[in-house]
Amino acid sequence: MSNDTIQYYHLNAKKFVAQYDSLAAQLVHSLWIDQLAQTPLGSALDIGAGSGRDARWLASKGWQVTAVEPAEALRRAAQSREAVQDTERAIEWVDDQLPHLAKVRSGNPTFDLILLSAVWMHITPDSRRVALAALVSLLAEAGMMVITLRFGPTDPLRPMYPVSADEVQAIAAPLGVSVEVMSGAALDKDQLNRSEVHWQTLLLRHTATEGCA
């Protein structure tokens, strides 16, 4: 993600907080919520956490959440919302970004759940191999990674690059990771009712532990 994109989210934090929090996490992530229910509670990493909507949702379910958000104003707003809602489990907020996630990886942690919701389209194609390798290094052996892909027009103020499940699968295979396309060949409608925007949800797991979660 470019510094210009991060700055755009920072300067327009109020608008994006309202947009993100207008939708319930359970609705946005309905395709894989059954998978979450079958996954033992543990540590979760929410990358591009935005308003903290998903981080708070996971924390309310008992997950120990680390939330990564490089846009300062978004991060501050999310932390304020967390304090107001008195989340049972504290969320650890980190100023970090893909493709390297250097701060998160510095302690060599692993996470049972990694979530990238509406993030992958901001990663430049030439950075995606490095980004996915960094993510895989953080994924616990029996863990699950969720990536949502956005299809639709780009925004010149926050550039978005073409995405596809095939591309993610091609990058993931040499890393020993399987990719399950939750919505099959069809694309899912946008929850904000933008007719030109559609989504696809991918579940990634270490190949040796596929189906164990």
- Strand-pair partners of 115: 46, 146
Instruction: For 76-130, write each residue's pLDDT tens digit.
Output: 999 987 655 555 568 999 999 999 999 999 989 999 999 999 999 999 999 999 9
- 65 closest CA partner among 53, 81, 77: 53
Question: What distance in Å separates the CA atoms of residue 17 and residue 14, rounded to the nearest whole number?
Answer: 5
The CATH code of the domain that includes 145 is 3.40.50.150
The per-residue pLDDT for range 47-83, each reduced to its tens digit, is: 999 999 999 999 999 999 999 999 999 999 999 876 5
Total domains in the chain come to 1
- Whether the Cβ atoms of residue 172 and residue 204 lie closer than 8 Å to each other: yes
Q: Which domain holds residue 23?
A: 3-209
Q: At CA 1, angle to CA 68 and CA 110, rounded to 5?
A: 35
